[in-house]
Amino acid sequence: MFCTNCGAQIQGQFCPLCGTPAGNLAPNADTPVPPPVASPLFWSILCTICFCFPVGIVSIVYAAKVNSLAAVGAYQQAKEAADKAKMWAWLAFGVSMIINLLYIAINVMG
Ligand SMILES: [Zn+2]
């Protein structure tokens, strides 16, 4: 990076020529950046295709919200959307298991 005061290249914390703190060059550098929220979109789509379509769609809708919410800095809402997406993905899995078991039971009973 370069000093905004004199234009010299800064390697450390201060400009070697004029002493301007390097921190002044990037005021946003000190702002803590929240960790990115992992979107379970992959699992949502997988559950939708493999298991239960109508329930999986809800999961995809929530998973799709995660990235857009995280992009505007709404990390709490992004995390909640991610949690809901995971919940619906598991629900899709559970519903399909029940349907499969019922299907097998009906076939076994003839
Ligand atoms: Zn300088």
- What integer is the mean pLDDT of 39-68? 79
Q: Calculate how far, in angstroms, residue 22's C-alpha sits from the geometric centre of ligand 1.
A: 9
Query: What value does the mean pLDDT take over residues 49-62?
Result: 79
Q: Which helix (H) or strand (E) holds 40?
A: none
* Residue 33: per-residue pLDDT: 60
Q: Are the C-beta atoms of 44 and 53 separated by less than 8 Å?
A: no
Q: Is the pLDDT of residue 49 over 80?
A: no
94 CA from centroid of ligand 1 (Å): 63
Token pair of 37 as six digits: 């929220």
pTM of the model: 0.52
91 φ/ψ angles, rounded to the nearest 5 degrees: -65, -40
Q: Is the pLDDT of residue 84 over 60?
A: yes
Compute, in angstroms, the gap from residue 24 CA to the centroid of ligand 1: 11
- Give the pLDDT of residue 25: 47
CB 99 within 8 A of CB 52: yes
Across 72-79, average pLDDT: 87
Q: How many angstroms separate the alpha carbon of residue 32 from the centre of ligand 1?
A: 26
